[in-house]
Amino acid sequence: METIEKIKKQIAENPILLYMKGSPKLPSCGFSSQASQALMQCGEPFAYVDILQNPDIRAELPAYAEWPTFPQLWVEGELIGGCDIILEMFQKGELQPLISETAAKFKTEEDASE
């Protein structure tokens, strides 16, 4: 599968997706650590892709997203932004409702289809 196709599939299949360096439990950079901490404090599960384990995605995603840096938070197929934006939204109380509403929406859809 082409890298861009893989990225599109990941974004489509995961309503809340963080592209980061490392994992939420073992982040490999301060920005990824701060972003994943803010997301974890929202209390909903989210998917992540460790770009250090996926050099093809690390190389291709910035051009696809038109966003040069990592981490990158995607919610429902939309790029929300990087660490600064995630933290600013969290501090303003905007991240929590976005994450919880998105999680609730997709929980309902998943439960209905079972």
The annotation places the binding site at: 21, 29, 58, 70, 83-84
**pTM here?**
0.93
pLDDT at 109: 57
Q: What is the pLDDT of residues 91-112, one digit of tens each?
A: 999 999 999 999 999 886 555 5
The annotation places the binding site for glutathione at: 21, 58, 70, 83-84
Q: Classify the C-alpha dihedral 20-54-13-3 as positive or negative.
A: positive
Q: What is the pLDDT of residues 55-92, one digit of tens each?
A: 999 999 999 999 999 999 999 999 999 999 999 999 99
Tokens 């809340």 belong to residue: 16
Fold of 3-113: Glutaredoxin (3.40.30)
pLDDT at 1: 72
pLDDT(113) > 70: no
pLDDT(4) > 70: yes
The annotation places the binding site for [2Fe-2S] cluster at: 29
Q: Are 105 and 112 in contact (CB under 8 A)?
A: no
DSSP notation for 35-49: HHHHHHHTTS--EEE
